[in-house]
A = this chain, B = another copy of it.
Amino acid sequence: MKRSASEADLSPIHSQTVMAPSADHDQGFSDAVPDAHATVVIAGAGPAGLMLAVNLVRLGISTLILDDRPDKTTTGKADGIQPKTIETLRQLRLADTLLRNGARVYDISFWDSTPSHPLSRKGRQIHYPDHLVGASDPYILLAHQGMLEDVLLDDLKERGVTVQRDSPFLSCARDRAGKLDVTYEDRAAGENRVVKADFLVGCDGARSRVREFIPDARLEGEMSNASWGVLDGVIETDFPDLWSKVAVRSHTVGSILWIPRERNMTRLYVELSATAGERVDKAKATPEYVMARAREAMHPFSLEWKSIEWFGNYVVGQRVARRFSDPEHQIFIAGDAGHCHSALAAQGANTSMHDSFNLAWKLNLVSRGLASPSLLGTYEAERRKIANDLIAFDAGHCAAFEAGEAALTRNFNDNIRFISGVGAEYADGLLTRDSAGSGSPNGLHPGALMIPSKVTRYIDANPVDIQLDIPILGQFRLYFLIPDVQAAKGFLQSVCGLLAEKSHLSTASSAARSSYQTQSRGNAASDAFLCLDRYMAVSDILTLALVSGSKRDVFELADLPAALQRSRWTVYLDDVDGCIEKWVGMSGQAATVIVRPDGYIGAVKPWDVSQGVEAGRWVDEYFAFLA
């Protein structure tokens, strides 16, 4: 995540005298009189906070979003949306505007100069090669942070929710009932206000104030001396690779990274500290200085700016918070509040949004009483693991940038799945079971994403991307992968029968139906076109789906168990690119795949068609955490 000059002042957090909530018992309980109530208070309306809000509001959770800034982001800051994030935005039906207006980077080129050789192209390659990444949107989508925030803000507005601006979060205390009293400053009104809440999430950046209310949550890691200037503008140049991502290593000036942008702009990351570890005077971190460095590095190419839209600078460091939540699982941090690193690989906003995307559905299930609070413990386990992976990668990536083309190419090739977001994977845990997976080495495995595949919807012959087709509604998905539907009739009947009877799933589904009836999802008018009922036909907790190896003309929907007939919009034909083969290999007679609400694989297992009862039990055991 890129930070503007004002945010880049990474001085130590000034210590607070406010007590952390864990110390409440010593201090006495809060007896503040609340001005308002919300299930979740979010501090910070950047990508992490807005992604969280969009998900919570859609799920019907009452949410208050605080932001200390008077207005939304209009230029600069984070700008690179990675393949996995594009997939997430598509799943949320939020990608259209960004895809239309953003620039797409498909390739990267490497240029070096040495004392004996002038600047020349050392190589040019596809950024996200299909055989390594396999993303269905294999590019970085460039759009300044304000465009991304606008999409999320518009979605909130359609659902009647706006950000409370000019309202910094101040403090948090716990009352006798275990609820939180969240205090913020309402600058417009010129007074402090208290909101009674079940949960507080700090999406308030590297200098997070919410983090101070989580015991033992300080950032750990090192700041380097390396300092970079970041400049967005329209460039006129005879440099031929202006519209590729370009990594330049100049023997006199150091490293420069070029990123093509929307509206004919280019972003330049220019190293301000030279190779020998020179420390740059802050006064030198000006657009003029950065332009001069860039011109020197790009010699003999001409380099002029027709306009400049944004300038920032930052010091590189890799740090992760020791905790992402309090022991009571009521206070969380997400995004930059939990992890800081360089901007070079365009990871910040992406990782931040995936933090909240991971947290949102869990907050929904727990706050509705549909899942045990222990579910919220998986947030830190899963996302802190990713944050640690990220800073480890970032330290190596920065070093490779310093070392030049050969090292950087190697670093890219080794980490390309991770950079794309597709390779960010969770370890075994409550939600990622049976790590043996499908037994297919390149197939699905728990903790990883669905492998993109094209299938045909049985009911209307529409070709669809299976990983995008079912809208995100906070529900799990159970895919039956069945090479021969006729042969597996008994198997399907057994599994569906078992789940309909006394099971964790059926109990939770009944509870969920009445919960969503009382407290409905936050649908927008435009959701009518998505016909969301199609995906809730059997349960609000789970969408059933069938991927059939049998052709359309050998079975009718009426041949399927009742639960799959009701799920007729998620019966797919595997007649395009071999989904079953990709997902679990072709040897078995049946397989079951549990996909979590965030699109990660929960569990996957192959079966003989005689094992319907075992398969039903296996599915239900996964859902033991449901209340």
Contacts and interface: CB of A to CB of B under 8 A. Distances in A.
B104 A462 contact: yes
B529 A461 contact: no
A262 interface: yes
Contacts of A529: 100-101, 262-263
B459 A531 contact: no
A463 B463 CA distance: 21
Given A105-B460, A106-B460, A461-B106, A240 B557 contact: yes
Interface in A550-564: 552-553, 556-558
A85 B599 CA distance: 35
Contacts of A33: none
B460 A243 contact: yes
Interface in A502-553: 526, 528-529, 531, 552-553
A343 to B, nearest CB: 21
A618 B381 CA distance: 69
A101 B526 contact: yes
Nearest to A139: B462
A463 B137 CA distance: 11
Given A263-B531, A531-B264, A460 B124 contact: no
A24 interface: no
Contacts of A463: 106
A552 B244 CA distance: 13
Nearest to A105: B460
A260 interface: yes
Contacts of A531: 263-264
Interface residues of A, number: 33
Interface string A440-476: 0000000000000000000111110000000000000
B459 A243 contact: yes
A553 B243 contact: no
A461 B263 contact: no
A148 to B, nearest CB: 14
A296 interface: no
A620 interface: no
Contacts of A186: none
A385 B126 CA distance: 48
B460 A244 contact: yes
A124 B244 contact: no
B96 A100 contact: yes
A240 B558 CA distance: 8
A368 B93 CA distance: 42
A126 B456 CA distance: 12
A260 B139 CA distance: 35
15 contacts: A96-B96, A100-B529, A105-B460, A106-B460, A106-B461, A106-B463, A126-B461, A240-B558, A243-B460, A244-B460, A260-B460, A262-B529, A263-B528, A263-B529, A263-B531
